[in-house]
Amino acid sequence: MATLKKKYIEEILPRFLKESGFKNPMEAPKLSKVTINMGLGEAVQDPKLIAQCQEDVAAITGQKAVATRAKKSIANFKLRQGLPIGVRVTLRRDRMYDFVERLVSIAIPRIKDFRGISPRGFDGHGNYTLGLKDQMLFPEIEYDQVYKPKGMNITFVTTAKTDLHARMLLEQLGLPFRKG
């Protein structure tokens, strides 16, 4: 069992129930999935970029990434419908908890001049999106092997009904939100 998942069950859930006033453990919010997305607009001119980013995301998450394709053709961007323009992966269960643990303990501390993640990434329904500027924050990515440095969006989907409860949950899981 993932250590963060075990910590959630044994420590975070009882504390959350006490602090938030939920009576039933099934009411308490939990993390349902984590989605990692890399938008690659330059992939139109350079098809090797998709394969490289798929390998990078697979190394980071432990799960194969899927190429996302353009829904519409846009002549100004030389984009045709169906061309691959990004990669994404959805993590659930143990892989999700393992990824969150590595993100919190390894990747986020490697960010230069880090003062905490922005609390403004909530969507009003209890989900949070975090943007990272570089995939090389993760130790699985070797600096020499990177074809082109790319950022990624990480979305935490929770069962929380409000942003306040989602933030409380994510803080308990270890995400360091900026104060003030």
The CATH number of the domain holding residue 149 is 3.30.1440.10
Residue 143 belongs to domain spanning: 3-23+31-40+55-65+87-173
* SS3 per-residue string spanning 46-107: CCHHHHHHHHHHHHHHCCCCEEEECCCCEHHHCECCCCEEEEEEEECHHHHHHHHHHHHHHH
pLDDT digit string (tens) for 24-54?
A: 888 888 888 999 888 776 655 667 777 787 8
Domain count, the chain: 1
Tell whether 122 is covered by a domain: yes
- The residue type of 39 is G
**Residue 115 covered by a domain:** yes
Q: What pTM was estimated for this model as a whole?
A: 0.79
The 10s digit of each residue's pLDDT in 86-132 is 888 999 988 888 888 888 888 787 777 778 888 888 888 889 998 88
Bridging pattern class, strands 31-39 and 84-91? antiparallel
